[in-house]
Structure 1
Amino acid sequence: MTEAVKILLVDDLPENLVALEALLRDDQLAIYTATSGEDALSLMLEHEFALALLDVQMPGMSGFELAELIRGSSRTSHLPIVFVSAADREQSYTFRGYENGAVDFLYKPLDHHAVKSKVRVFVELHAKSRELRRQLVELETARAEQESLLGALQLVQADLQRALKMRDEFMSMVTHELRTPLGVMALEVELRQRRLDRDDLGWFTRERLQAMLAKDSRQVRSMTRLIEDMLDIARIQHGKLSIRPRRTDLGELARAIVADFTALYRDVPLALEVQDGIVGEWDDSRIGQVLVNLLSNALRYGEGRPVHVTVARSPEGLARLTVTDQGMGIPLADQRKIFEQFERLAGAAQSPGLGLGLYISLHFVQAHGGQISVRSAPGEGSCFEVLLPMLPPGA
């Protein structure tokens, strides 16, 4: 339903207002009347008028004085004013009216047809102006929505480009990581086949066979680890990471893993310090993988210097696992990024791995209600700390 257009009639004589109101009555108009300038100003504070018809000769505040006040207010300065006057059409009188903001004059006795025609013109102008403002508001709203959608589209496009770049990098790294152990195994198989083709069975001594099996085992472990990492990433991204907690002695778990690494890395001193009684409800396979990832990184980037592992109770009563190396260190700006997918430190491009270990470890620790953090500085080594909730007393 279209809102009625409001007009204001001001005259000190009620009978004039009644007559003028009857003349202008229309379903599309809402007519307001005032018998003084003060009443008219009060109405203007409450309503937005399309036109004001002011009687010039009123006691107290004249129509000219009221027009000056209307023009002086920012709220009503745009309001069209038509003066209604019984005075002679003197040029000076008319000039004063226009000087006070009049857009037209009506002289008594009023010509009914002229009055209605002039009022209709201003009403139509106001309606068009109001429609134009509405369209401008709609245009501005549409523009704002368009800018918002464009911004969202740009973000989606940036995310898509980043995802495509990550996919390409991921495929490149996976291909490289799989090609290396497969290439080594292919060469070993070819070498052995040549020995067999020459019936050189004496070459396959017990010591040589043991060395071959150890090398094959390392390559198989490397490929198996890569595949497991990829599966874990898929589980994390789809919210299907499974945790099977059971009563676990963190110290015993650390001893077993450090012993395995000591056997593999005989040239790097590995120290373990364990406080007894660090027991909790944890998935020993997942927490063990966290320690394996931290130790692998410490040995990879530790530049051959000693690595120290501790298991103890924190002052807050949490289980604390730390892995400390004396290697290259991590700049502060990179310490948050290293827990993201495929993020690797500058200068580590020649090191094996996909940059997934810390990302996976973060999610494993968080799945246990714990937290993982790093303290490091370039040239001063790194200390990774894992905090896990312990069993409550008596559990």
Structure 2
Amino acid sequence: MLSATESKLLIVDDLPENLLALEALIKGEGREVFKAQSADEALALLLEHEFALAILDVQMPGMNGFELAELMRGTEKTKHIPIVFVSAAGRELNYAFKGYESGAVDFLQKPLDMHAVKSKVNVFVDLYRQRKVMMRQVEALERSRQEQETLLAELRATQEELQRSLRMRDDFMSMVSHEVRTPLNGLILDTQLRKMQLERANAEAFTLDKLSAMFARDERQLQSLIRLIEDMLDVSRIRTGKLSIRPKRFDLSRLVQQVVESFSHQLVTAEYSMSVSAETPIVGVWDEFRIEQVLANLLTNALRYGEKKPIEVRAYPVEEGGRIDVRDRGIGISPENQQRIFQQFERGVGTEAVAGLGLGLYISEQIVKAHGGRIEVQSTPGEGSLFSVVLPLGTGDAAPA
């Protein structure tokens, strides 16, 4: 692995014959020797390549070897390159001491000892290769650490998502059992009362008026059960991309009037008043059943959270197509909860006692999006909410989405 690491060596001398002689001594497998006859040439090579060792002649015209070494030590890219000085000057000039002061790791006297030169170059080349191998190992360890951290973060996110899903499942099962139990308890109680009256042969308990009231109660309880089942089925269809949209041409304003009229009994029972403004025809291509479902969900929420204050419903044309507004004057929704309420199994904070699975707005938003439209909410806590549905007019008269 060490021998596979290529090493670059730099030799600097103003005499070509010295360069050739030194190159012959130090070249070898896995080594590339670069030659420079001046400090300027050497600097250009130092900026372009990464060297394992630089061998500098001290005495050169222009910038000498000591000055070149000082420049190398002052540059980030070259300051860690080992420097070996070579000089033919006598020892009395104290060049060796000056060379070590300039940052050299060794000093060689000419004429050069071939074995000493080869041995020293081998040492520095091996050190360079070992350092490169260690750097690669450190980089590999760092990459591995980062990958492990990323994997750990993903595992934590998955664990949190799993825990959230488990909480949602438990909450959902709790809500479903509560919501299903309510109409079932009503049906069971009515059945037991009727059975008791029959056992007593009490014919007065089964007059036409009382039977009509019984059937009306039964129908309301069954409709509640059917709606719960349909909501859960719709969530499943949305998740699997199988929510069907069967568009046809109809008047949106007329549909709004019909849906509001169908809520008349609930309005009387809940002691609400509701005004509707939908005189201008808005003819477009939508799934009538699904749009009715959206409007029914919005009206149901207005009745649940409107605190018995007047409810306003409007349908009117806009540049984008048709728009439906449902405004209540009830408890309102805080800004931080206005996006949350469109998620599955979510209801307004502080409304846990209110009936419902928290699916209505989620399903409604998916239906509106399937029509290419949007649903928006504007609300202030304590002042009520305005839900708006905007639908493009659409084209054609069929094609499931």
Q: Once the 2 structures are TM-superposed, how far is the Cα of residue 335 of structure 1 from its aligned partner?
A: 1.5
Aligned counterpart in structure 1 of residue 304 of structure 2, from 295, 300, 304: 300
Residue 201 of structure 2 corresponds to 199
Could you tell which deviates more after superposition, 130-139 or 110-119? 130-139
Aligned to 1:178: 180
Q: Residues 285 and 395 of structure 2 are in contact (CA less than 8 Å); yes or no, is this contact kept in structure 1?
A: no
Equivalent position of 1:278 in the other structure: 282
Partners of 2:331 and 2:59 in 1: how far apart? 94
* 1:260 maps onto 2:271 in alignment: no
In the alignment, which residue of structure 1 is the partner of 2:399? Answer: none
Larger deviation: 91-100 or 28-37? Answer: 91-100
Query: Is the contact between residue 6 and residue 30 of structure 1 (CA under 8 Å) also seen in structure 2?
Result: yes
Check the 8 A contact 2:15/2:37 in 1, yes or no.
yes
| Superimposed CA distance per residue, residues 188-228 of structure 1 (whole angstroms, 9 cap, x where no aligned partner) | 11111111122223321111111111111110000000000
Structure 2 residue aligned with 1:388:
391
Q: Secondary structure at the match of 2:297?
A: helix
Match for residue 77 of structure 2?
A: 75
- Aligned-pair CA distance for 1:263: 2.4
Letter in 1 for 2:191: V
Partner Cα distance (1:82, 1:253) in 2? 93
Match of 2:316 among 308, 312, 316: 312
Query: Residue 280 of structure 2 contacts residue 317 of structure 2 at CA under 8 Å; is this kept in 1?
Result: no
Tell me the equivalent position of 1:337.
340
Measured in 2, the distance between the counterparts of 1:65 and 1:376 equals: 76
Q: Contact conserved, 2:320 with 2:390, CA < 8 A, in 1?
A: no
In structure 2, what residue type is equivalent to 1:73? Answer: T
| Residue 163 of structure 2: aligned partner | 161
Native 8 Å contact 1:275 1:313 kept in 2: no
Q: Which residue of 2 aligns with 1:27?
A: 29
Q: What's the % identity of the aligned pairs? A: 55
Q: Verify the 8 A CA contact 2:254 2:281 in the aligned structure 1.
A: no
State the distance in 1 between where 2:124 and 2:395 align: 82
* Number of aligned residues: 392
Q: Decide which of 354, 369, 373 is 2:372's aligned counterpart.
A: 369
Match of 1:111, as an amino acid? D
Structure 1's unaligned 5+ residue stretches are: none
Q: What are the residue-to-residue correspondences of 1:241-252 with 2, within 5 Å? A: 241-252=243-254
Kindly state the Cα deviation for residue 352 of structure 1 after the two structures are TM-superposed.
0.7
| 1:275 alignment partner AA | E
Task: Say if 1:12 and 1:58, in contact at 8 Å, map to a contact too.
Answer: yes
* AA of the residue aligned to 2:207: T
1: CA distance, partners of 2:342 / 2:297: 12
- The CA distance in 2 between the partners of 1:104 and 1:336, in whole Å, is 72
- Alpha-carbon distance in structure 2 between the residues aligned to 1:390 and 1:93: 93
Gaps of 5+ in 2: 397-401
Specify whether residues 65 and 264 from structure 1 end up closer, same or farther in structure 2 by C-alpha distance, changes over 3 A only.
closer
Question: How far 1:241 moved relative to its partner?
Answer: 0.5
Q: Retained in 1: the 8 A contact 2:6–2:31?
A: yes
Equivalent position amino acid for 1:293 in 2? N
Whether 1:110 aligns to 2:112 is yes
Distance 2:158 2:275 in 1: 48
Q: Which residue of 2 aligns with 1:323?
A: 326
Instruction: Determine which of 189, 209, 212 is the counterpart of 2:211.
Output: 209
Is 2:182 aligned against 1:152? Answer: no
Q: Contact between 1:253 and 1:288, CA under 8 Å: does it hold in 2?
A: yes
Question: TM-score, with normalisation over the residues of structure 1?
Answer: 0.95
Distance 1:391 1:363, change over 3 A: closer
Which whole-Å CA distance do the structure 2 matches of 1:2 and 1:391 have between them? 68
Higher normalized contact order (CA 8 Å, seq sep 6+, divided by chain length):
2
2: CA distance between counterparts of 1:73 and 1:332?
A: 57
- SS of corresponding position for 2:94: helix
Indicate conservation of the 8 Å contact 2:330/2:382, yes or no: yes
TM value normalised by structure 2: 0.93
Q: Secondary structure at the match of 1:265?
A: helix
1:88: how far off?
2.9
- Bigger CA drift: 126-135 or 166-175? 126-135
Aligned-partner Cα distance in 2 for 1:106–1:323: 94
The 1-side partners of 2:32 and 2:101 are apart by: 28
Distance 2:342 2:218 in 1: 31
* CA apart distance, 1:276: 3.0
In structure 1, C-alpha distance between the alignment counterparts of 2:138 and 2:199, rounded to whole Å: 88
Q: Distance in 2 between matches of 1:391 and 1:236?
A: 21
Specify the SS of the correspondent of 1:184: helix
- More displaced 10-residue stretch of structure 1: 28-37 or 237-246: 28-37
